[in-house]
Structure 1
Amino acid sequence: MRALLDAYRADARLHAFLAAWSTTPAGSPVGLSGVRGSLKSVLAALAWEALQRPLVVVRSDKEDAAYFLNDLEKLLGPGKAFFFPDSYRKPYAERDQVDNANIGLRAEALERLQRDQCIVVTYPEALAEKVVTRKTFGSKSLRIARGDKLDLEFFNESLFDMRFERVDFVEKPGQFAVRGGIVDVYSFAHAHPHRIEFFGNEIDDIRPFEVDSQLSEGHVSAMTLVPNVEDKRRTEQRESLLEYAGPESLLWIEDADFLVDKLNQGYDLAEAAYVAFDGGVRPMEPNALYASGAHIRHLLLGRTYVTEASTDKVIAWQSLPQPAFGKNFTLLLEHLSAQHKAGRELWIMCSLPPQQKRLASILQDLQPDETMEIHWLDSALHHGWEDPSGPRVVYSDHEIFERYQRFRLRDGLDKAQAITLKELNSLQVGDFVTHIDHGIGKFGGLQKIDVQGKMQEAIKLVYKDSDILYVSIHSLHKIAKFNGKEGSTPVLHKLGSPAWQSLKKKTKTRVKQLAYDLIQLYAKRKEAQGFGFSPDSYLQHELEASFQYEDTPDQEKATADIKADMESPIAMDRLICGDVGFGKTELAVRAAFKAVADSKQVAVLVPTTILAFQHFQTFKKRLEGFPARVEYINRSRSAKEVRAIAEDLEKGQIDVLIGTHKLVSKELTFKDLGLLIIDEEQKFGVNVKDKLKTLKVNVDTLTLTATPIPRTLQFSLMAARDLSVMTTPPPNRQPIETHIMGFNEAGIRDALSYEISRGGQAFFIHNRVENISEVAGMLQRLLPDARIAIGHGQMKGHDLEKILLDFMAGDFDILVSTTIVESGLDVPNANTMIIHQAHMFGLSDLHQMRGRVGRSNRKAFCYLIAPPLAGLPEESRKRLQALEQFSDLGSGFKIALRDLEIRGAGDLLGAEQSGFINDLGFDTYQKLLGEAVDELKKNEFKDLYADQRGGWDPKERECQLDTDLELLLPDQYINFVEERLRIYRELNDLKEEAQLQTYVAGLVDRFGALPPQAERLMTSLRLRWLGQSLGFDKMVLKAGKLLCYFPEEAHEAPPQEVLMNFLAKIQAFPQRYRMKQKGPRISLVVDHIPTVQDAFVTLTELSSAPKIAP
């Protein structure tokens, strides 16, 4: 991007502009006219570099400001431009309306203005809020650096004085934690918290760290600790941002009249809210907290500023916006050639290297003039422009491809308010857990127990009739938190009762049968001959390049997998899993076109009439201008239309036919079917599935499902299906702005009327059929001119279908419906959703319903109507807040995914297996399924998986350690029970030395050097892995003696040759080792082993002993 700045640096128009800005007297604006696209950001960056003074840019709204900021970041690099947003949603709103991320961004901008000549980008609503004065800010913040002498106690007191809150673990701005000589603190002016390590009374190190992992990332030499200077309850004097920036700062105001009007509107609202305020302690008056339009107008009289509105003194540029090419690459090339002939430089900005490659390849295929040189830029500003006087044109790739480019702001969500995945997986006292050997009990906490005079920590489990079981921390791998379907409660087992073992046995048998059937199908298909499709044509490249969004890595991989399958002579049978809106349909379009390019026909089978029509529209739009005829068939088409389609299909005149179960009826005959695409296969009945089996034998098949499949289950299923999983949401998709609100007619009316006024449509979700008409009546009363329709699952299929199709066609403004919209309905024009009684829904349902809006490049809104949060159960409250604070990959998404995975596993494997998942808990079920698949791969299907067999693998078995030594994390080292338990569980999940080294480094980073007991705990892990590698399933280290046991079960024991080799090694050290056998169980006994380190050394010696030649 520096090349672009350099290209404009010598421009005479720039110098005239800078001279005017520097010499125009105060109170007179300098006008800029004819500056189009992101050329504005280029000029702002160059002016700032040339004039070397702080610059405040005021855009007309938040979105424009965010794009302007992103442009400056790309042009100047990080740490030069900062965003200044508004901190409250409403004036004088209750405290939970504060947005910590925005307060952090405001504090960061103020802190940088305090010490740097930076650029601050803002908008009217943010400028309306006054800030503490420059002097107050300096006195309230604390700058610290490595090497500073600072008393730890004094530092603690200072943090309390700055109103920081002391907590166990820092999660949000305004918190600090102290552990020995380590202080974690989260300043409001930084994106991340910092870890400050003391050596005596000197700051030894300052490291930023991640909230989620609590691990450091890099080092900094200094930082400023800034408290919440936005707290409106503070009584310090305040001033506007323009005053804070100082009289020497530069101002760029898009439109001063618009700004003043906007500020006056905001000030009037603040005054009205102040008069109506009844929340206890009276806050400061509006003129102390908010800047009025008159105040800013008066300030501007004393300043010179740049404006884009018409004014007396104007610097004219005469640039033009980037033309719309409508994804027509021939037109683009003609246009570039004409500009080249006119002597203009050609610049194209591409957001990602693959995009540049694709665009260059398309232009190359169209054989351009060889003298035409294009300057490629590896980043893209928000808008391109044409500057004939430049002389140059600068185009952006996303505008050429008609893609939406999303702005990016720092996402510092208030993580403590939303439930996280870590919290969900962490164990709270009273949670249900499954012990693989004893069944379902309740977690009773972490307890210290005395084992022969040595203290140990153990997990307390409570079973039926209050039976207690203590489980060693070395056996944590046998315990899993019970995960069943959302809302289901399991039954506690009785310790020692055979019920659990028989349930496990029954499940294992049925699971094995299921796995057997799946693998057998897979084996048959691997033998079936299909059609080997040709490699991609240039039309295929053009189709893929015209996709509206940038491909995610998952999409790229899935596309490559599908093509490899199609080009192979073996018939494809691939399952694509991906969440709502992750681009599965696009993969289907690409696969379909690849088949059509080889003169094959494509059948797309969908479960509902609505989906058939929707896919028809999608395929038709995507394949417009390509040689492919798309048709659809469903019950809304007349008999005459169906007959005509059947005739054309048989003649081979239809390339892609989309339809419901009618597609597999006898009336339809394909001339040459090459690809079958099935959407949501689990939603079809048995009859359709049976017909599909016969159709699928030699035809390439692609199945799509929106219900995600959990990772562990994927591995088991990999043995039986080719699987592509899409877990990354598309970039540049606008996040859905989500708000929790009480039931409020004015708020509902405002949200819906705003959507209708911008030409959009809205969903109102009400999940009770008995009074849905009353709700629709209320909406009609609030919005007399709105066209409102009602849709619910108890209506006749045909009537419901008509209403949904009419809504999709834009004949209604608002659809009042039950959760039938949860899956499949795609109305890009509907971008507002109101969910009534949102607290009654599960997170996954809310997530899937909300996925119905925000499917275009328009800003989407979702309002969750719920009672006051304070009165809701904690689980409901946290669920709603997780959704409200959703980032695309935020905690809410991951939780929704977890609930969906459990549902997805049930859908995929059938009702019976779904029952087992609920009885056993998901983790235990997955373990059994994995074992069943492994056994089948080794026995019944060993020939099919011959290439995957690596002989006996001891790592597949767990090894348990039982000891009377003190192996634990002492209270003095980690004083928080929940954290100790979490660390024990995470240590249990580690599998190898490299992982352990990384984990220990993390502990040292967070808590300081390991004490001896913790060192021994780490050695015990190494000992377990070593025992596992030697084939043991249990080791006992007690009273100075080590006993190592081989498994009892014949199928789990090492093969004969491994045992013989082991015996030979032992015979090399007869004085040290003894072998014993009791029944089928063989064990090794080693005397004089007082410590875990001795045990480790002894077994290392044994494992490295030379093998005896046969």
Structure 2
Amino acid sequence: MKSKISIQFVFSFAKFYSINSNNRLKSEKLISYFKQHPKTALLSELMEGDDRYFNLKGLVGSGVALVVAGFFDRPGKQQHLIVLTDKEQAAYFYNDLENLFGETETDYNKKKILFYPTSYKRPYEPENADRAYQLSRTEVLKRFMSGDRKTIVVTYPEALAEKVVGRQYVTKNTMKLKVGEEVSLDFISDLLAEFDFESVNFVAEPGQFAIRGGIVDVFSFSNDHPYRIEFFGDVVESIRTFDPASQLSLQNMNQITLLPNVQDRNIRETRVGFLDYMPAGTILWMQDVAFTADRMDKEFEKAVSAYEKTENPDSPVQPVDLFLKGNELLQKLPGFRVIEFGNANYKKSAKQIQFNQQPQPAFNKNFDLLINNFVNYSEKGYSNYIFADNVKQTGRLYAIFDNIQHEQPETGRAHFTSLTLSLSAGFIENDLKLICYTDHQLFDRYHKFHLREGFGRKEALSLQELYHLQPGDYVTHIDHGVGRFDGLQIIDNNGKKQEAIRLVYKNNDLLYVSIHSLHRISKYVGKEGTPPKLDKLGSNAWKKLKNKTKSRVKDIARDLIKLYARRHASKGFSFMPDTYLQNELEASFIYEDTPDQLKATQDVKKDMEAAFPMDRLVCGDVGFGKTEVAIRAAFKSVNDSKQVAVLVPTTILALQHFKTFSDRLKDFPVSVDYISRFKNARRQKETLG
């Protein structure tokens, strides 16, 4: 059935403005503003005295993160712990700090902003343990034990409620290895087993190890990537990190630390609160002290309830050994300097500092209001800034305002500077006279946080296939052709033992392929029910077949080139470049574009603007954003005085797409309708007319 989009275009006008795009504000400069903030300086001065509690009032949005960043950037070696009231707020705060400090490092050993989550989803359900979060927690403990780098740790009450093993246990169960060291391979194997590491064929997540001849792969809880340790006899010959998906090496290491999962609930060791790991002088930033203690009590109650429901209550460690109550946290606070920055006031005697910030106003995508707002604040001496999540959004903002400028050149100017910096919430800083708005709030777009993902989803297809290969399955080697998988075997390679894949070829010839060459092997794909012929090692048959296939591919390519040359020579309709309304539509998308979605949109619009007929197929799984690409293309078409028909295979889809298009285009001068078998001929004619 056909669904029809008919659009009558009406233009609205906005006020003229100008953009100050020279010398764009760097995040370092932004941090320096708050480092020199008179209230930040006052806080620093007060903390040199004997006071232990401080209360910051008037902070809103991402202004809190900037105050923390500015204070952290001041002289001093103190560690900082930031406690938000829940995981979501903590994640947004963590992302704000990451982006402000430009934390692009994937190596957590080099980061200065760390996230401290819970290690589980539900208490007393080991299958719900999160390996990625366990790794994050262990890295934070390791950082505080070393004390060699000034760090900000962001967390929330549920994570604080979970006790950790003491420093002595971590030290006792840590092993350091370095290149050239003499150590028995059997000792390493026994140690990893004692550390409760799981023996697997190929490591994919923390807590796993694999031994193949003289090679040990181990995914320690002390690093974001697994290690590959090569032995020559009993001597460590080389150590390097590698990607568990591709098996390719990443970085050579001279010394490493092997650390077990110290978050394991079954470890029967005396546990302590996280604050016991805090060095002397650590500064605690807490959004709400009383609320944090209350949430910890609720988490303890949940643990007790889960414990009582376990099938064998004598086996698991009891809740009192695993979780802290709120009052236990409160008893630790006098040992630190505590800065409370929410609306509450835990200590009435706390030194209070009043900031003067306001939240970003709601403009509801009304650029008239936004420009008036900028003009008014500019006249008062304020500097206007818009923070965009990515470069594409920055470009859209400029395009929107540039078109508005040409529509209404006679009215006042609104100056602003844009910065590609993702922040969670905009604000107005009156003391510094700064307007800091976020683009996702201007367009009512959803802003999501990003945390470390689980490891299981990153396993490569080649490894998954290897796990599922059975002796007798057919595989293809890029150099030797079709063979039969015959399992794994330990072989001697220049005096070193290593595991290899054994392939059987014609006449029972054998080929051993190192696991480092997995990328040269793929599972055979051919006609079902017809076993392939095995190639003969050393013959030219496979080489001839590859050459013949290459020749055939070239013939097909030549035919396609001729076809598309004729298509390119044909004349089609060339749509005009994006208008400000097009940019406004795309910027108003409530989610962040995926890279593939963004590229598909750009390619489709590029095709539409070309002077020859378009020929493009957009593919993707359900929920991957194909409809949004279609909406943008349809809007571009009607923007050029055309009508658009969207053809879908079923009546239900026609109605669904009608609702989706209507909702997406409701703020634009667009008429959307649909036709299906449920509409009579007269109504269909009216729609098409």
Q: Does 1:81 align with 2:113?
A: yes
1:274 equivalent in alignment to 2:307: yes
- Return closer, same or farther for 1:534/1:351 CA change in 2, 3 Å cut-off: closer
Cα 1:131–1:595, aligned 2, differ >3 Å: closer, same or farther?
Answer: same
Partner residue, 1:49 = 73
Contact 1:447 1:460 in 2 (8 A): no
Asked if 1:359 corresponds to 2:385, the answer is no
Q: For 2:626, give the aligned amino acid.
A: K
Paired amino acid for 1:83: F
The residue correspondences of 1:457-468 to structure 2 (distance < 5 A) are: 459-460=503-504
Count of residues paired in the alignment: 607
- Quick one: which of 58, 61, 64 aligns to 1:37? 61
Matches within 5 A, 1:589-628: 589-628=631-670
Q: Is the 8 A contact 2:100 2:421 kept in 1?
A: no
Distance 1:4 1:222, change over 3 A: farther
Cα contact 2:397–2:583 (8 A) shared by 1: no
Q: Match of 2:134?
A: 103
TM-score normalised over the length of structure 2: 0.77
Query: In structure 2, how many angstroms separate the alpha carbons of the residues matched to 1:546 and 1:394?
Result: 19
Counterpart for residue 948 of structure 1: none
Alpha-carbon spacing, 1:480–1:360, altered in 2? closer, same or farther (3 Å): closer
CA distance in structure 2 between the aligned counterparts of 1:156 and 1:482, rounded to whole angstroms: 35
User: Counterpart in 1 of 2:365?
Assistant: 327
Change (3 A) 1:230 1:480: closer
Structure 1 residue 39: deviation in Å? 1.2
Structure 2 counterpart of 1:170, from 199, 203, 207? 203
Secondary structure of 1:57 counterpart? strand
Match of 1:539 in 2: 581
In the aligned structure 2, how far is the partner of 1:537 from the partner of 1:631?
24
Superposed displacement of residue 183, structure 1: 4.3
Q: Over the residues paired in the alignment, what is the CA RMSD in angstroms? A: 4.1
Match of 1:310 among 344, 354, 368: 344
Q: Aligned letter for 2:82?
A: V
Q: Could you tell which deviates more after superposition, 200-209 or 114-123?
A: 200-209
Please say which of residues 173-182 and 239-248 is displaced more in the overlay.
Answer: 173-182
Supply the AA of the counterpart residue of 2:137: R
The yes-or-no answer on 1:548 pairing with 2:581 is no
Letter matched to residue 274 of structure 1: Y
Q: 1:223-242 to 2 correspondence within 5 Å?
A: 223-242=256-275
> How many percent of aligned residue pairs carry the same amino acid?
40
Which residue is equivalent to 2:416? 374
Distance verdict in 2 for CA 1:323–1:152, change over 3 Å: farther
Please give the secondary structure, in 2, of the residue aligned with 1:121.
strand
TM-aligned CA distance change 1:87 to 1:356, over 3 Å: same
Counterpart residue number, 1:258: 291
Residue 424 (1) aligns with residue 465 (2): yes
Q: Match of 1:558, as an amino acid?
A: A
8 Å contact kept, 2:374–2:416: no
List gaps (5 residues or longer) in structure 2: 1-26, 104-110, 491-499, 535-548
Distance 2:485 2:240 in 1: 36
Q: Deviations over 1:375-421 (max 9, x none)?
A: 433322211111122211112222223222222222242469x8955
Which one has the bigger helix percentage?
1
Q: Work out whether residues 343 and 391 of structure 1, in 8 Å CA contact, stay in contact via their aligned partners in 2.
A: yes
Alignment of 1:531-680 (within 5 A): 531-637=573-679, 641-646=683-688, 649=689
1:243 maps to 276
For residues 252-286 of structure 1, what are the alpha-carbon distances to aligned partners after superposition, in whole Å with 9 as ceiling and x for unaligned? 22112222222112212222333333338622222
User: What residue is the counterpart of 2:161 in the other structure?
Assistant: 128
Q: Are 1:190 and 2:217 counterparts? A: no
Q: TM-score, normalised by structure 1?
A: 0.49
Q: Do structure 1's residue 300 and structure 2's residue 345 form an aligned pair?
A: no
Cα distance in 2, alignment partners of residues 81 and 328 from structure 1? 36
Matches within 5 A, 1:407-422: 407-414=449-456, 420=461, 422=463
Aligned partners of 1:435 and 1:304: how far apart in 2? 63
1:583 and 1:356 map into 2 onto residues whose CA distance is: 21
Could you tell me how far 1:123 is from its partner in structure 2? 1.2
Q: Distance in 2 between matches of 1:402 and 1:636?
A: 35
Counterpart of 1:541, as a letter, is N
3-state SS of the aligned residue for 1:398?
helix
Partner of 2:28: 2
- Deviations for 1:86-116, whole angstroms, at most 9, x for unmatched residues? 11222222x3222211111110010011123
Q: Distance in 2 between matches of 1:162 and 1:120?
A: 27
Question: 1:5: how far off?
Answer: 0.6
Instruction: Provide the C-alpha distance between the structure 2 equivalents of 1:88 and 1:234, rounded to a whole number of angstroms.
Output: 15
Shift of 1:327: 2.6
Q: Which amino acid letter does the alignment assign opposite residue 75 of structure 1?
A: L
| Secondary structure class of the residue paired with 2:89 | helix
- 1:173 to 1:536, Cα distance in 2 relative to 1, 3 A: closer
- For 1:5 and 1:265, the matched residues in 2 are separated by 37
Distance apart, 1:36 and its partner CA: 0.6
1:164/1:494 Cα in 2 relative to 1: closer, same or farther (>3 Å)? closer
Cα 1:433–1:628 change in 2 (3 A) is same
- The question of whether the paired residues in 1 share the 8 Å contact of 2:401 and 2:580 is answered with no
Q: Is the 8 A contact 2:35 2:73 kept in 1?
A: no
Mapped to 2, the partners of 1:200 and 1:477 lie a distance apart of: 28
Distance in 2 separating the partners of 1:413 and 1:399: 32
Counterpart residue number, 2:41: 15
Within 5 Å, which residues of 2 pair with 1:499-514?
A: none
Residues 21 and 306 of structure 1 are in contact (CA less than 8 Å); yes or no, is this contact kept in structure 2?
no
1:60–1:259 Cα contact (<8 Å) kept = yes
1:532 maps to amino acid = S
Q: Give the Å deviation of 1:173.
A: 1.7
**Aligned amino acid, residue 426 of structure 2:** G
| TM-superposed deviation, 1:160 | 4.8
Work out whether residues 191 and 410 of structure 1, in 8 Å CA contact, stay in contact via their aligned partners in 2: no
Does the CA contact (< 8 Å) of 1:107 and 1:189 recur in 2? yes
Alpha carbons of structure 1 residues 133 and 66: separation in structure 2 relative to 1, 3 Å: same
Matched position secondary structure for 1:604:
strand
- Kindly provide the amino acid, as one letter, of the partner of residue 326 in structure 2: G
Whether contact under 8 Å (1:24, 1:30) holds in the other structure is no
CA gap of 1:247–1:178, structure 2 versus 1, over 3 A, is same
- Give the one of 92, 106, 110 matched to 1:67: 92
Deviation at residue 74 of structure 1 after TM alignment: 1.9
Does the 8 Å contact 2:426/2:437 carry over to 1?
A: yes
Check whether the contact 2:78–2:281 (CA below 8 A) recurs between aligned residues: yes
Matches for 1:129-168 after TM superposition, within 5 Å:
129-144=162-177, 149-153=181-185, 158-165=191-198, 167-168=200-201
Moved more, 252-261 or 294-303: 294-303
Q: CA deviation at 1:63?
A: 1.4
The alpha-carbon deviation at position 213 of structure 1 amounts to: 1.6
With over 3 angstroms needed to count, the CA separation of the structure-2 counterparts of 1:494 and 1:69, relative to structure 1, is closer
In 1, distance between residues paired with 2:289 and 2:336? 12
Distance 2:519 2:419 in 1: 51
Matched, 1:92 2:129: no
**SS in structure 1 of the partner of residue 436 of structure 2:** strand
Asked if the contact 2:200–2:208 (Cα under 8 Å) also holds between the matched residues in 1, the reply is yes
* Equivalent position SS for 1:577: coil
> Secondary structure in 1 aligned to 2:674?
strand
Q: Is the 8 A contact 1:445 1:460 kept in 2?
A: no
SS of 2:139's equivalent in the other structure is helix
Higher relative contact order (CA 8 A, sep 6+): 2
1:302 Cα deviation (Å)? 4.7
